[in-house]
């Protein structure tokens, strides 16, 4: 598949710096993908995303399938043209949404039947169906249908894994578009034996990249890290590894330290709309009265548009008054910080000083 390539450029311990080549452009890794659930990264425009230095975004198969519909998007020229984002896009398979958001669902060996969270209408995803939907959307990277189980329920994970593996085979067989790379998904909760079996099975099928699903959904950090360390030894080093739905600035640093190349998370954008401000460690809640007269920026040294133009007092006012501009400006800041941190991480790997960067990050 010439349209897609991954070059590992440098390693530093387990940390990796690479370059992901896609039909819509190159993506330096590690990469953080802002999430554009419904065909828009909430509260920012494509030109804002470019200005922020975003290189690749994620969009959700489940949401776009329900509204406005993948066939409509195909008729309108595909997702890139539809949302006017000409950079690379990854679509998830909808598995996570179906197993967490859809109000009712019934899983069987062949697929999963669920009700729309919008209007309660009944729908069915099979491996072949989610590939067809993702072909209609036309993202650069697409993913296999998987079943997301609660991470600490062994028996549930064991059974779900059987389905996830069978579905991965069927997705691989259904995959046709040469301009789309298909990623397999490794599941197995927090259980080393299941994760190892999943990694061996999924890599045995052979995919352009490997997603790690079902982590950072409530389990202790040590268990997350243990799974990542295990997988680092099992996943092929010449393919990108994508830790789905993660995370915080700390998660970026610790994920990269365990061999992860790609991240996505709604946290920076969702927090922003609620008045939450990301810092390198933890967050500020602008609704707190202590910011009412604060003339300073969100973060003292931040170079984003928001921090270089607006005070905490003003941004707090916007959030309390439910002004759209508040969501916009906080989203800009939160994404800027995440994208800055992955850039810093990459530079430190290329310079062979990732360990020092990580140590300094935690000392701050």
Give me the residue label for tokens 């460690």: 281
- Alpha-carbon Rg for the chain, nearest whole angstrom, is 20
Tell me if 293 contacts a copy of itself by CB under 8 A.
yes
Checking DSSP bridges between strand 57-59 and strand 89-91, what pairing results, if any? Answer: parallel
Q: How far is the CB of 66 from a copy of itself (least distance, A)?
A: 10
Which secondary-structure segment (H or E) carries 194? helix 192-205
Sequence-ordered alpha helix ranges (H) in 69-139: 70-75, 79-83, 95-100, 127-137
Tell me if 305 contacts a copy of itself by CB under 8 A.
yes
* Footprint on residues 44-63 left by a copy of itself (CB under 8 A): 44-47
Question: CB within 8 A of 81, min separation 6: which ones?
Answer: none
Residue 316: both structure tokens together: 């707090």
Residue 86 or 359: the one with the smaller Cβ distance to a copy of itself is 86
Residue 21 or 123: the one with the smaller Cβ distance to a copy of itself is 123
Residue 231 or 307: the one with the smaller Cβ distance to a copy of itself is 307
Q: How far is the CB of 322 from a copy of itself (least distance, A)?
A: 9
Q: How far apart are CA 323 and CA 258, in angstroms?
A: 40
The stretch among 174-182, 244-252, 319-327, 355-363 that binds a copy of itself (CB under 8 A) is 319-327
Q: How far apart are CA 99 and CA 124, in angstroms?
A: 12
* Footprint on residues 56-115 left by a copy of itself (CB under 8 A): 67-68, 72, 75-77, 82-84
Secondary structure (3-state) at 105: strand
Contact 356, 348 (CB under 8 A): yes
Tell me if 321 contacts a copy of itself by CB under 8 A.
yes
The stretch among 227-235, 254-262, 320-328, 335-343 that binds a copy of itself (CB under 8 A) is 320-328
Residues that contact a copy of itself, how many (by CB under 8 A): 39
Question: φ and ψ at 235, to 5 degrees?
Answer: -85, 140
User: What amino acid positions are annotated as catalytic residues?
Assistant: 92, 264
Tell me if 266 contacts a copy of itself by CB under 8 A.
no
Distances (CA, A) of 156 to 9, 187, 253: 39, 12, 31
Q: How far is the CB of 131 from a copy of itself (least distance, A)?
A: 23
Residue 39 or 249: the one with the smaller Cβ distance to a copy of itself is 39
Q: How far is the CB of 324 from a copy of itself (least distance, A)?
A: 4
Q: What is the largest CA-CA distance in the chain?
A: 60
Residue 364: both structure tokens together: 């701050």
Tell me if 120 contacts a copy of itself by CB under 8 A.
no
User: Residues interacting with a copy of itself, by CB under 8 A?
Assistant: 38-40, 42-47, 67-68, 72, 75-77, 82-84, 273, 292-293, 295, 305, 309-311, 313-314, 316-318, 320-321, 323-325, 327-329
């Amino acid at each position: 598949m010439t349209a897609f390539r991954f070059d590992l450029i440098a390693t530093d311990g387990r940390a990796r710096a690479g370059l992901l080549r896609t039909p819509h452009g190159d993506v330096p890794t590690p990469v953080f993908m802002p999430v554009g659930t419904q065909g828009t990264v909430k509260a920012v425009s494509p030109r804002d995303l470019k200005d922020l230095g975003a290189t690749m975004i994620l969009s959700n198969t489940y949401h776009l399938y329900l509204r406005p519909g993948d066939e409509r998007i195909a008729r309108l020229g595909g997702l890139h043209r539809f949302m006017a984002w000409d950079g690379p896009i990854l679509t998830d398979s909808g598995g996570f949404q179906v197993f967490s958001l859809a109000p009712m669902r019934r899983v069987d060996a062949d697929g999963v039947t669920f009700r729309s969270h919008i209007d309660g209408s009944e729908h069915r995803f099979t491996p072949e169906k989610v590939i067809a939907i993702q072909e209609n959307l036309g993202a650069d990277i697409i993913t296999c249908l998987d079943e997301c189980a609660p991470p600490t329920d062994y028996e549930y994970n064991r059974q779900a894994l059987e389905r996830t593996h069978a579905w991965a085979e069927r997705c691989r067989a259904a995959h046709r578009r040469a301009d789309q790379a298909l990623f397999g998904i490794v599941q197995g909760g927090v259980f080393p034996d299941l994760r190892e079996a999943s990694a061996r099975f999924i890599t045995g099928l052979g995919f352009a990249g490997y997603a790690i699903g079902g982590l950072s959904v409530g389990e202790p950090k040590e268990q997350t890290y243990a799974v990542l360390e295990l997988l680092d030894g099992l996943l092929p080093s010449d393919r990108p590894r994508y830790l789905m739905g993660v995370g915080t600035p700390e998660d970026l640093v610790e994920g990269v330290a365990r061999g992860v190349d790609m991240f996505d998370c709604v946290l920076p954008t969702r927090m922003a709309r609620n008045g939450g401000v990301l810092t390198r460690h933890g967050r500020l809640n602008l609704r707190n009265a202590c910011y009412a007269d604060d003339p300073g920026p969100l973060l003292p040294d931040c170079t984003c548009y928001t921090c270089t133009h607006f005070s905490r007092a003003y941004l707090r006012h916007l959030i309390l008054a439910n002004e759209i501009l508040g969501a916009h400006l906080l989203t800009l800041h939160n994404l800027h910080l995440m994208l800055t941190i992955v850039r810093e991480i990459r530079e430190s790997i290329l310079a062979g000083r990732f360990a020092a960067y990580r140590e300094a990050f935690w000392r701050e």
